[in-house]
Amino acid sequence: MVSHVKANSVFRTVSRYTTVAALVLAMMPPNAASALTTAEYVRAVLRDEVAAASDSSAGVLFGVLDSLGAEPRIWAEGAVSVDDELRLGCPTAKPILAYLILNRRIPLQARITRWFPEREGYTRAHDIQVRYLLLNSSGIRDYVPMIPMHPDSAVTPERTIELAYRHRTLLFDPGQGFEYSNTNANLLGCILRVEMGESVDALVRARFAAIAPSLRYDDGHGRYPRGYPGPWPYHWSCPGYGGGLIGTAADAMRAFAWIASQPEFVQMTRWSKPNGSPERAETDHRLGLGLFGRRDLAGCGPATFYDGDLGPCQMILACVRGRVFYVATTHPVGLERLNAVFSRLVARCVATGND
């Protein structure tokens, strides 16, 4: 989740920061980089990123899925392999939550007092719509800074709601601001569980088992990359419904490609202001239901885009020109650096196709 460490990192602009890999490739003779195949180019960038880390835990993975029925192309260097089960964070979990809310026909305009009564201490629940939870415009605080960062400190979604929302003032009037808050996702998960009578994990498995069989909520027993720290600095339950999914990179891309093919995705990508009204077409950084957008990514045109930070690792998921791209690390490189690498790789793949 973008979020698990830094709350407001979603609306970031890709900087001019130049990675080691970019410098190496830029210093080649003009025709040298273009002489590389796409696979060779990707491997060169990933190798240089691992080398720049000077750390045995360093690992970087990049993948592209050209269409839902295609076989993903994935490259991995360092302390991660193609078949590892990654901690996928918010870029995978939150679009899935949004899809499930829409697919199960939970009304976006419904007031959450229906599930979280004001008489029980849930502040201004009658003013908070389900839509505002999906847009991060509810005014509810992020629970992340309030939980213990310790490997043995389990935290339930219900507990995070108690900590960050119940009997607490809102940061702003619902629908009148933006604050990236993982508490919103845990509220949505609880709403789904009550309405559907099943756990959110069961709902995810039922919907995505045939498409992305490795996808599930973390239980601490995944086939994690060897580069992940041990022990993990906080309990595996802490990311909750909004960031706690694990699975392979291939399944993360397949799940997103499948969602992008569904009618609900049209509604998810009607870019909005925090109050739900339509956003201007020329807006650079776009707000959707459970996801975000860019007016232009790496010179390749409009993109659905989500970057995430779990602390020990980062990840980015994007859909550009109908293709899904994914990058993930096993070590903390920072989202600024990872965005620069990701943009370069996406631009190369879009420019050269499947050479």
Task: Tell me which CATH code domain 20-352 carries.
Answer: 3.40.710.10
In a 10 Å sphere around its CB, with 0-12 CB exposed, 13-18 middle and 19+ buried, how is residue 35 labelled? exposed
Q: Which of 327, 280, 282, 352 is nearest to 35 (CA)?
A: 352
User: pLDDT tens digits for 199-229?
Assistant: 999 999 999 999 999 999 999 999 999 999 9
User: pLDDT tens digits for 229-258?
Assistant: 999 999 999 999 999 999 999 999 999 999
User: pLDDT tens digits for 127-141?
Assistant: 999 999 999 999 999
User: pLDDT tens digits for 148-158?
Assistant: 889 999 999 99
User: pLDDT tens digits for 150-192?
Assistant: 999 999 999 999 999 999 999 999 999 999 999 999 999 999 9
- pTM value is 0.91
Q: Which of 151, 149, 108 is nearest to 130 (CA)?
A: 108
| 8 A C-beta contact, residue 233 and residue 311 | yes
- Which stretch of DSSP H or E encloses residue 305? strand 303-309
The residue among 196 and 282 whose pLDDT is bigger is 196
- DSSP of 89-101: -HHHHHHHHHHHH
Q: How confident is the model at residue 19 (pLDDT cuts 50, 70, 90)?
A: very low
What's the CA gap between 166 and 118, in Å, rounded? 9
